[in-house]
Chains A and B, each alone.
Chain A
Amino acid sequence: MASTHQIVTANRLRDGAVVYLTADGRWSETLACGALAEDKATAADLLAQAERSVTDRLVVGPYAFPVALAPEGPQPTQKREQIRAAGPTVHPQFGRDTGIARAAR
């Protein structure tokens, strides 16, 4: 069954880096640190919080995306988010070791 879990992501204003909203309202480059929204209402709350970070000029363009739960942590279900999480698949040296790099290949 398709998972309904979501994580909120954005790009950091200063360098455009992919970041994830954590449970305590910080932003992390590591997907696994992202707060997991189990339902729509929680996702909406996280997004509202993310919008405050937009106002605070920390991030740009926040949105929520679906993840599937796996033993090694949440995994994006869409290719685009897998690549955002891991870095370009063609430049592994610039990627992040999230365990997703391999999955995205």
Chain B
Amino acid sequence: MYRYDEFDHTLVAERVAQFRDQVNRRVAGALTEDEFKPLRLMNGLYLQLHAYMLRVAIPYGVLSATQMRRLAHIARTYDKGYGHFTTRQNIQYNWPNLEDVPDILEELAEVEMHAIQTSGNCIRNVTADQFAGVAADEFDDPRVYAEIIRQWSTLHPEFSFLPRKFKIAITGAPNDRAAVKVHDIGLRMVAGPDGAPGFEVIVGGGQGRTPMIGYVVRDYLPVPQLLAYLEAVLRVYNQLGRRDNLYKARIKILVHETGREEFTRLVEEEFAAMAGENPPALPGGELARIRAYFQPPAYADLPASTPELDLALAGNRTFARWVKTAVAEHKQPGYAIVTISLKPIGGIPGDASADEMDAVADLAERFGFGEIRVTHEQNLVLPDVPRQDLFALWQSLDAAGLATANVGLVSDIIACPGLDYCNLANARSIPIAQEISQRFADLDRQHDIGDLKVKISGCINACGHHHVGHIGILGVDRKGVEYYQVTLGGDATENAALGDITGPSFSGEAITDAVETIIATYIGHREDGERFLDTYRRIGMKPFKEALYAAH
């Protein structure tokens, strides 16, 4: 798996020392807050409602057991015993003291982690399919390219001061689990005319105030041209992006104002011009070097099923139900990908206690090769579980309180920190998630409802991905009171769609009832085998609107 090389070691060590000095100067009075703020943000340190918040990068969501234990240790030593996994596959600590942060960064550096590029108008931590490298449906391993992009973009002088932050997501599978169509650049691996791997390049997607689905600007980009092409896109953006207006500064605005054809033309022109000036083509040797980081582990020849597993599946309904939601198909026969829900009924989505982190680290070693993934849906993944061990793993997870069988169901909710923590929030997200989760606590009911993605953001910045929730909930402030706007029909997958607003927003007291009404309407209209999204697409908004606002 990913190891950071010499370059990273030196760089990160320098940055920690530099930040320690900056903190000392701030506390001693040599730096004012105005001078210090951009420096702390460059190191992932925000000041939120109640305390500082440190955002730690987890490149493309991949963690080792050792790193997870260190995250647990930091939670225990410097925080209040927990951390929060985010929709950017990162972890946030909500309570560090300013003067402890250099120590935390040093502890992170010891396990090859850092908080660089988690803030500011740079190319942020690249996100990827959480099943990268193990998914049965995968065409090529996107981690290789995510890592190449990471190395190229880390402190890239030309792209450290972009008009606005810049997010790249990548998937190597046709089933998009990385939401690539709602990122500044989305990369989807495809086969070229000769069968060689390459990328479909999607530009200008995004959420926030002006949500947009990205346009495909290139159907097929051969692998060696990856960085040159990204550079061409970024150059066009760097030249033409709106620096004058914060709300119009993201590339999506540029792409959509310029128009797909013209924007594509500009990129291709820049790309062609670069061919003459030594574009950063990917040398085969470099590609091989990085691919070597991601060699598959030493898989054993294991059975897809054992009599014991069959017996447990037939005899233990709770286990069977967990398997149904948590287990995904692995490319290696005899192995399974297991998603660990961080959404216990009534819990805080994405929060994990230090003990839970330690438990997951232990399980990753016992039932795999010591690797863990963080998903953008705020869950964790054990990528290489022998199928014959599924029952034992489930028992251990259950003992740790981590076996909720709700992955992909109504209580597997994405929620941003919202007004409980976030300085920018209009309304709380987490308590709404908790209330919905509790309302639908009955797993029989959840399984009957089926695939359903509820996503909640506490403000229009949309960290909770509400635009692409099947049911999206957005917190708004109405004269100092929390209200919630609802959207339906959003989709973050390869069929990406933005949700449609139902109508007037709901009060905090009414929002869970509204969700229940929406679900009842779906159940009333659904045809055999239809998911919520299918029914919505077939029958449209009208029946939902009628049910929601009938009494008004």
Chain A contacts to B: CB under 8 angstroms: 11, 13-18, 54, 57, 60-61, 77-80, 83-84, 87-91, 94
Interface: B97 (CB within 8 A) = yes
Minimal beta-carbon separation of A14 from chain B (angstroms): 6
Interface: B2 (CB within 8 A) = no
Tell me which residues across on chain B come within 8 A of A15, comparing CB atoms: 51-52, 95, 97-98
Q: Which one of A11, A77, A84 contacts B47 once the chains associate, using CB atoms below 8 Å?
A: A11
Tell me which residues across on chain B come within 8 A of A16, comparing CB atoms: 47-48, 50-52, 97-98
17 extra A-B contacts, CB within 8 A, seeds A61-B33, A79-B427, A90-B431: A11-B47, A14-B98, A15-B51, A15-B95, A16-B48, A57-B26, A77-B480, A79-B482, A80-B49, A80-B425, A84-B49, A88-B420, A88-B421, A89-B428, A89-B431, A90-B420, A94-B95
Q: Which of A61, A79, A80, A90 has the most CB of B within 10 A?
A: A90
CB-based nearest B residue for A56? B29
Q: How far is the CA of A28 from the CA of B324 in the complex (A)?
A: 52
Q: How far is the CA of A87 from the CA of B26 in the complex (A)?
A: 26
Q: Are A88 and B50 in contact (CB-based, < 8 A)?
A: yes
Q: How far is the CA of A89 from the CA of B427 in the complex (A)?
A: 12
Chain B contacts to A: CB under 8 angstroms: 26-29, 33, 47-52, 80, 95, 97-99, 348, 419-421, 425, 427-428, 430-431, 434, 477, 480-482
Q: Are B348 and A90 in contact (CB-based, < 8 A)?
A: yes
CB-based nearest A residue for B48? A16
With A16-B98, A88-B50 known as contacts, the answer to whether A80 contacts B419 (CB < 8 A) is yes
Tell me which residues across on chain A come within 8 A of B480, comparing CB atoms: 77-79
CB-based nearest A residue for B477? A79
Tell me which residues across on chain A come within 8 A of B481, comparing CB atoms: 79
Q: How far is the CA of A40 from the CA of B52 in the complex (A)?
A: 30
Q: How far is the CA of A60 from the CA of B48 in the complex (A)?
A: 11
Q: Are B49 and A18 in contact (CB-based, < 8 A)?
A: yes
Q: 18 A-B pairs, CB-CB below 8 angstroms?
A: A13-B27, A14-B97, A14-B98, A15-B52, A15-B98, A16-B52, A16-B98, A57-B26, A57-B28, A79-B419, A80-B49, A83-B420, A87-B50, A90-B420, A90-B431, A91-B348, A91-B420, A94-B80
Tell me which residues across on chain B come within 8 A of A77, comparing CB atoms: 480
Q: Are B431 and A54 in contact (CB-based, < 8 A)?
A: no
- 5 tightest Cβ-Cβ pairs between the two chains A and B: A88-B420, A16-B51, A16-B52, A15-B97, A90-B430
Tell me which residues across on chain A come within 8 A of B434, comparing CB atoms: 90
Minimal beta-carbon separation of B85 from chain A (angstroms): 15
Tell me which residues across on chain A come within 8 A of B95, comparing CB atoms: 15, 94
Q: How far is the CA of A78 from the CA of B28 in the complex (A)?
A: 34
Tell me which residues across on chain B come within 8 A of A88, comparing CB atoms: 50, 420-421, 430
CB-based nearest A residue for B46? A16
CB-based nearest B residue for A105? B431
Tell me which residues across on chain B come within 8 A of A11, comparing CB atoms: 47, 51
CB-based nearest B residue for A84? B49
Q: How far is the CA of A52 from the CA of B434 in the complex (A)?
A: 42
